[in-house]
Protein backbone atom coordinates (compact mmCIF):
# COMPACT_ATOMS: atom_id res chain seq x y z
CA UNK A 1 0.00 0.00 0.00
CA UNK A 2 2.80 2.42 0.86
CA UNK A 3 4.32 1.88 -2.57
CA UNK A 4 1.01 2.89 -4.14
CA UNK A 5 0.88 5.91 -1.83
CA UNK A 6 4.38 6.93 -2.89
CA UNK A 7 3.33 6.52 -6.55
CA UNK A 8 0.37 8.85 -6.09
CA UNK A 9 2.52 11.47 -4.35
CA UNK A 10 5.05 11.37 -7.21
CA UNK A 11 2.41 11.49 -9.94
CA UNK A 12 0.48 14.32 -8.27
CA UNK A 13 3.35 16.33 -6.79
CA UNK A 14 3.07 19.16 -9.34
CA UNK A 15 -0.72 19.29 -9.10
CA UNK A 16 -0.49 19.24 -5.30
CA UNK A 17 1.86 22.20 -5.35
CA UNK A 18 -0.41 24.13 -7.71
CA UNK A 19 -3.52 23.36 -5.67
CA UNK A 20 -1.74 24.27 -2.42
CA UNK A 21 -0.70 27.62 -3.88
CA UNK A 22 -4.24 28.17 -5.19
CA UNK A 23 -5.67 27.52 -1.72
CA UNK A 24 -3.09 29.86 -0.18
CA UNK A 25 -3.98 32.48 -2.80
CA UNK A 26 -7.41 32.77 -1.18
CA UNK A 27 -5.65 34.03 1.94
CA UNK A 28 -3.28 36.25 -0.04
CA UNK A 29 -6.35 38.13 -1.30
CA UNK A 30 -7.41 38.44 2.32
CA UNK A 31 -4.01 39.78 3.37
CA UNK A 32 -4.10 42.41 0.61
CA UNK A 33 -7.27 43.84 2.07
CA UNK A 34 -6.29 43.52 5.72
CA UNK A 35 -2.79 44.95 5.94
CA UNK A 36 -3.32 48.30 7.63
CA UNK A 37 -1.58 51.37 6.27
CA UNK A 38 -0.36 54.34 8.30
CA UNK A 39 -3.36 56.49 7.45
CA UNK A 40 -6.01 53.77 7.50
CA UNK A 41 -8.26 52.46 10.22
CA UNK A 42 -6.82 49.40 11.87
CA UNK A 43 -8.68 46.23 10.93
CA UNK A 44 -9.31 45.51 14.59
CA UNK A 45 -12.00 48.21 14.27
CA UNK A 46 -13.68 46.12 11.57
CA UNK A 47 -14.12 42.68 13.18
CA UNK A 48 -17.17 41.74 11.12
CA UNK A 49 -15.38 42.43 7.82
CA UNK A 50 -12.32 40.46 8.94
CA UNK A 51 -14.41 37.51 10.12
CA UNK A 52 -16.44 37.41 6.91
CA UNK A 53 -13.39 37.54 4.62
CA UNK A 54 -11.63 34.96 6.78
CA UNK A 55 -14.54 32.51 6.57
CA UNK A 56 -14.83 32.98 2.79
CA UNK A 57 -11.08 32.39 2.37
CA UNK A 58 -11.19 29.22 4.47
CA UNK A 59 -14.23 27.75 2.74
CA UNK A 60 -12.77 28.58 -0.69
CA UNK A 61 -9.49 26.87 0.20
CA UNK A 62 -11.30 23.67 1.21
CA UNK A 63 -13.35 23.79 -2.00
CA UNK A 64 -10.18 24.04 -4.11
CA UNK A 65 -8.63 21.07 -2.30
CA UNK A 66 -11.90 19.15 -2.65
CA UNK A 67 -11.87 19.60 -6.44
CA UNK A 68 -8.34 18.19 -6.53
CA UNK A 69 -9.41 15.18 -4.46
CA UNK A 70 -12.10 14.43 -7.03
CA UNK A 71 -9.45 14.10 -9.74
CA UNK A 72 -7.14 11.56 -8.09
CA UNK A 73 -9.39 8.58 -8.88
CA UNK A 74 -9.45 9.05 -12.66
CA UNK A 75 -5.69 8.41 -12.99
CA UNK A 76 -6.03 4.68 -12.33
CA UNK A 77 -9.24 4.11 -14.27
CA UNK A 78 -7.76 1.65 -16.74
CA UNK A 79 -8.96 -1.92 -16.97
CA UNK A 80 -5.46 -3.35 -17.40
CA UNK A 81 -4.22 -1.55 -14.30
CA UNK A 82 -7.33 -2.55 -12.33
CA UNK A 83 -6.95 -6.22 -13.24
CA UNK A 84 -3.24 -6.03 -12.44
CA UNK A 85 -4.04 -4.64 -8.98
CA UNK A 86 -6.66 -7.33 -8.47
CA UNK A 87 -4.19 -10.10 -9.33
CA UNK A 88 -1.27 -8.58 -7.40
CA UNK A 89 -0.23 -9.58 -3.90
CA UNK A 90 -1.49 -6.24 -2.52
CA UNK A 91 -4.92 -6.77 -4.03
CA UNK A 92 -8.02 -4.59 -4.13
CA UNK A 93 -7.97 -3.86 -0.40
CA UNK A 94 -4.52 -2.20 -0.54
CA UNK A 95 -5.45 -0.15 -3.61
CA UNK A 96 -8.65 1.16 -2.02
CA UNK A 97 -6.89 1.76 1.32
CA UNK A 98 -4.26 3.85 -0.45
CA UNK A 99 -6.85 6.04 -2.16
CA UNK A 100 -8.63 6.67 1.13
CA UNK A 101 -5.37 7.37 2.96
CA UNK A 102 -4.13 9.70 0.21
CA UNK A 103 -7.40 11.64 0.21
CA UNK A 104 -7.31 11.81 4.03
CA UNK A 105 -3.73 13.15 4.07
CA UNK A 106 -4.68 15.83 1.54
CA UNK A 107 -7.51 16.97 3.81
CA UNK A 108 -5.19 17.00 6.84
CA UNK A 109 -2.69 19.12 4.91
CA UNK A 110 -5.45 21.54 3.88
CA UNK A 111 -6.62 21.89 7.49
CA UNK A 112 -3.10 22.56 8.80
CA UNK A 113 -2.40 25.02 5.99
CA UNK A 114 -5.62 26.95 6.69
CA UNK A 115 -4.94 27.08 10.45
CA UNK A 116 -1.41 28.42 9.90
CA UNK A 117 -2.53 30.99 7.31
CA UNK A 118 -5.36 32.02 9.60
CA UNK A 119 -2.87 32.58 12.44
CA UNK A 120 -0.79 34.73 10.07
CA UNK A 121 -3.88 36.72 9.08
CA UNK A 122 -4.69 37.32 12.75
CA UNK A 123 -1.17 38.61 13.36
CA UNK A 124 -1.29 40.94 10.34
CA UNK A 125 -4.80 42.22 11.00
CA UNK A 126 -4.30 42.45 14.77
CA UNK A 127 -7.71 40.86 15.21
CA UNK A 128 -8.62 38.29 17.87
CA UNK A 129 -11.03 36.27 15.71
CA UNK A 130 -9.71 32.76 15.06
CA UNK A 131 -11.42 30.32 12.74
CA UNK A 132 -9.33 27.28 13.67
CA UNK A 133 -12.45 25.50 14.93
CA UNK A 134 -14.11 26.22 11.57
CA UNK A 135 -11.07 24.70 9.82
CA UNK A 136 -11.45 21.53 11.91
CA UNK A 137 -15.20 21.39 11.20
CA UNK A 138 -14.63 21.82 7.45
CA UNK A 139 -12.05 19.05 7.62
CA UNK A 140 -14.65 16.69 9.09
CA UNK A 141 -17.23 17.85 6.53
CA UNK A 142 -14.76 17.14 3.74
CA UNK A 143 -14.02 13.68 5.16
CA UNK A 144 -17.76 12.96 5.30
CA UNK A 145 -18.28 14.18 1.71
CA UNK A 146 -15.47 11.91 0.48
CA UNK A 147 -17.02 9.04 2.47
CA UNK A 148 -20.24 9.52 0.50
CA UNK A 149 -18.59 10.21 -2.84
CA UNK A 150 -15.81 7.60 -3.11
CA UNK A 151 -18.07 4.48 -3.18
CA UNK A 152 -20.03 6.02 -6.08
CA UNK A 153 -16.75 6.73 -7.86
CA UNK A 154 -15.49 3.19 -7.25
CA UNK A 155 -18.76 1.59 -8.33
CA UNK A 156 -19.57 3.68 -11.43
CA UNK A 157 -16.24 5.28 -12.40
CA UNK A 158 -15.22 8.90 -11.84
CA UNK A 159 -17.37 10.34 -14.64
CA UNK A 160 -20.57 8.53 -13.68
CA UNK A 161 -19.79 8.97 -10.00
CA UNK A 162 -19.51 12.73 -10.50
CA UNK A 163 -22.83 12.70 -12.35
CA UNK A 164 -24.51 10.92 -9.44
CA UNK A 165 -22.91 13.35 -6.99
CA UNK A 166 -24.03 16.28 -9.15
CA UNK A 167 -27.62 15.05 -9.11
CA UNK A 168 -27.54 14.72 -5.30
CA UNK A 169 -26.11 18.25 -4.96
CA UNK A 170 -28.78 19.66 -7.28
CA UNK A 171 -31.54 17.97 -5.26
CA UNK A 172 -30.13 19.37 -1.99
CA UNK A 173 -29.80 22.82 -3.58
CA UNK A 174 -33.41 22.74 -4.83
CA UNK A 175 -34.69 21.68 -1.40
CA UNK A 176 -32.74 24.54 0.23
CA UNK A 177 -33.97 27.00 -2.42
CA UNK A 178 -37.61 25.98 -1.94
CA UNK A 179 -37.23 26.39 1.82
CA UNK A 180 -35.68 29.85 1.52
CA UNK A 181 -38.42 30.90 -0.91
CA UNK A 182 -41.43 29.52 0.94
CA UNK A 183 -40.24 28.42 4.41
CA UNK A 184 -40.20 30.23 7.72
CA UNK A 185 -36.95 32.24 7.85
CA UNK A 186 -37.73 34.04 11.10
CA UNK A 187 -35.67 31.45 12.99
CA UNK A 188 -32.53 32.93 11.37
CA UNK A 189 -33.37 36.52 12.33
CA UNK A 190 -31.81 39.34 10.35
CA UNK A 191 -28.74 38.78 8.18
CA UNK A 192 -26.58 40.53 10.78
CA UNK A 193 -27.93 38.29 13.54
CA UNK A 194 -27.37 35.23 11.39
CA UNK A 195 -23.67 36.00 10.82
CA UNK A 196 -23.18 37.06 14.43
CA UNK A 197 -24.59 33.73 15.64
CA UNK A 198 -22.50 31.89 13.05
CA UNK A 199 -19.27 33.46 14.26
CA UNK A 200 -20.18 32.79 17.91
CA UNK A 201 -20.89 29.15 17.05
CA UNK A 202 -17.21 28.53 16.24
CA UNK A 203 -15.82 30.76 18.98
CA UNK A 204 -14.56 28.62 21.88
CA UNK A 205 -14.91 31.50 24.33
CA UNK A 206 -18.51 32.20 23.30
CA UNK A 207 -19.45 28.56 22.76
CA UNK A 208 -17.28 26.10 24.79
CA UNK A 209 -19.59 23.25 23.75
CA UNK A 210 -18.14 23.46 20.24
CA UNK A 211 -15.27 21.23 21.44
CA UNK A 212 -17.74 18.46 22.28
CA UNK A 213 -19.53 19.07 18.99
CA UNK A 214 -16.29 18.80 17.02
CA UNK A 215 -15.35 15.62 18.87
CA UNK A 216 -18.67 13.98 18.03
CA UNK A 217 -18.51 15.25 14.44
CA UNK A 218 -15.01 13.82 14.11
CA UNK A 219 -16.03 10.41 15.42
CA UNK A 220 -19.04 10.38 13.10
CA UNK A 221 -17.06 11.46 10.03
CA UNK A 222 -14.23 8.98 10.62
CA UNK A 223 -16.75 6.22 11.29
CA UNK A 224 -18.50 6.97 8.00
CA UNK A 225 -15.12 7.06 6.29
CA UNK A 226 -14.32 3.55 7.50
CA UNK A 227 -17.73 2.19 6.48
CA UNK A 228 -17.28 3.88 3.10
CA UNK A 229 -13.91 2.13 2.70
CA UNK A 230 -15.49 -1.28 3.34
CA UNK A 231 -18.21 -0.54 0.79
CA UNK A 232 -15.67 0.60 -1.81
CA UNK A 233 -13.73 -2.65 -1.45
CA UNK A 234 -16.86 -4.61 -2.30
CA UNK A 235 -17.95 -2.50 -5.31
CA UNK A 236 -14.50 -1.89 -6.86
CA UNK A 237 -14.67 -4.69 -9.44
CA UNK A 238 -18.13 -3.56 -10.48
CA UNK A 239 -16.69 -0.14 -11.27
CA UNK A 240 -13.87 -1.66 -13.35
CA UNK A 241 -16.44 -2.84 -15.90
CA UNK A 242 -17.39 0.80 -16.48
CA UNK A 243 -13.85 1.85 -17.38
CA UNK A 244 -13.39 2.90 -20.98
CA UNK A 245 -10.30 0.72 -21.55
Residue 14 has pLDDT above 80, yes or no: yes
Give the 3-state DSSP-derived string for 150-168, with helices as H, strands as E and coil as C. HHHHHHHHHHHHHHHHHHH
**Taking Cα atoms as reference points, which of 172, 166, 151, 170 lies closest to residue 103?**
151
Average of per-residue pLDDT values in the chain: 78
Provide the strand spans (E) within the chain: none
- Residue 155 included in any domain: yes
Distance CA 47, CA 118 (A): 14
pLDDT of residue 139: 93
pLDDT digits (tens, 9 = 90+) for 103-128: 999 999 989 988 888 887 777 766 56
pLDDT digits (tens, 9 = 90+) for 25-62: 767 766 655 544 444 444 444 556 667 777 888 888 88
Check: pTM over 0.75? Answer yes or no: yes
pLDDT digits (tens, 9 = 90+) for 64-90: 888 888 778 777 767 777 777 777 767
Residue 165's alpha-carbon distances to 5, 6, 53, 120, 153, in angstroms, are: 25, 28, 28, 35, 9
pLDDT of residue 31: 60
Residue 234 has pLDDT above 80, yes or no: yes
- Residue 173 included in any domain: yes
**Taking Cα atoms as reference points, which of 156, 145, 112, 121 lies closest to residue 221?**
145
Distance CA 67, CA 50 (A): 26
Q: Report the domain count for the chain.
A: 1
Alpha carbon 5 to its chain's center: 20
Residue range(s) defining the domain that contains residue 54: 2-240
Distance CA 142, CA 66 (A): 7
- Residue 216 included in any domain: yes
* Helix axis angle, 91-125 to 47-71, nearest 10°: 160
Report yes or no: 158 and 78 within 8 Å, Cβ to Cβ.
no
**Taking Cα atoms as reference points, which of 203, 54, 73 lies closest to residue 125?**
54
- Residue 245 included in any domain: no
- Residue 178 included in any domain: yes
pLDDT digits (tens, 9 = 90+) for 143-178: 998 898 888 888 877 777 677 777 877 888 888 888
Amino acid sequence: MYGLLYKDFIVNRKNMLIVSLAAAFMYILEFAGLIPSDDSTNTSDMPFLFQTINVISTVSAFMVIGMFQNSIYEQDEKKKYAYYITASEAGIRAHVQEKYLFSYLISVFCMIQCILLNALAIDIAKNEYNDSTLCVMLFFVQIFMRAVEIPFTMAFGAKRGNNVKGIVIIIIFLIALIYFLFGDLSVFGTIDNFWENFFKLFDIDENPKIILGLSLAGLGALGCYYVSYRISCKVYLKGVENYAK
